[in-house]
Amino acid sequence: MIKESLSVLILDASAFFIAFPVTEKVMTVPGVVSELKDIKGKARFEVLTSMGLVVSEPTLQSVKKVKEASIRSGDGSVLSQTDIEVIALALDVHGTICSDDFALQNTAQYLDIQIHPLLQKKAEMRRWVFRCSGCGKYYDLMPVDMTCQICGLKVRRKNK
């Protein structure tokens, strides 16, 4: 159950597939709305909209901060643009993110954004590194094509 003391909840797509009581202001980004393809998610969106759900774009400044934080956390290669915008909106309005997405939670924690997991436990903050599965070379950032520049095998994310 969502705590009553929260002022603004920022909803990720997973929040539209779970019925939970909402007494706070709720917000999301247009990208989340476009991800709602099935009838259950769309119906929940309609219910929340009738209760005052606000769909809003984050500021470009916050999007930039989130992208930088996702690189520091090692989640930049796995976060979608929508994930980045959800975190950025939470940063803009000092909201609490409702999501079960571990990468999204991890990056949000790097920015001191409050997280409220829905069905899973809260993700522990992690710092990821990138390592070639063949030769073992470490990379600070995930190579764009996800392959090692030395041996050509796949580079994987690894918990530091």
pLDDT per position as a tens digit, 87-132: 999 999 999 999 999 889 989 998 999 999 887 666 566 666 777 8
Which pTM does this prediction carry?
A: 0.75
pLDDT given at position 79? 92
Cα separation, 15 vs 21, whole angstroms: 11
Low-confidence stretches of the chain (pLDDT beneath 50): 1-6
pLDDT given at position 18? 85
How is residue 7 written in tokens?
């002022």
Partners of residue 13 on adjacent β-strands? none
Q: Provide the domain limits for residue 16.
A: 8-116
- Together in a domain, 79 and 137: no
pLDDT given at position 144? 52
- Together in a domain, 112 and 136: no
- Compute the mean pLDDT over every residue in the chain, rounded to the nearest whole number: 85
Q: What pairing do the DSSP bridges indicate for beta strands 25-28 and 54-55? A: parallel
pLDDT given at position 137? 79
pLDDT given at position 21? 81
- Together in a domain, 86 and 141: no
Domain assignment present for 106: yes
Count of domains forming the chain: 2
**76: helix, strand or coil:** coil
- The CATH number that applies at residue 132 is 2.20.28
- Together in a domain, 32 and 103: yes
pLDDT given at position 90? 97
Domain assignment present for 123: no
- The CATH number that applies at residue 109 is 3.40.50.1010
Helices and strands in the chain: count of H runs, count of E runs: 5, 8
pLDDT given at position 126? 61
**85: helix, strand or coil:** helix
- Together in a domain, 136 and 94: no
Give the residue carrying structure tokens 């606000």. Answer: 54
Cα separation, 90 vs 18, whole angstroms: 20
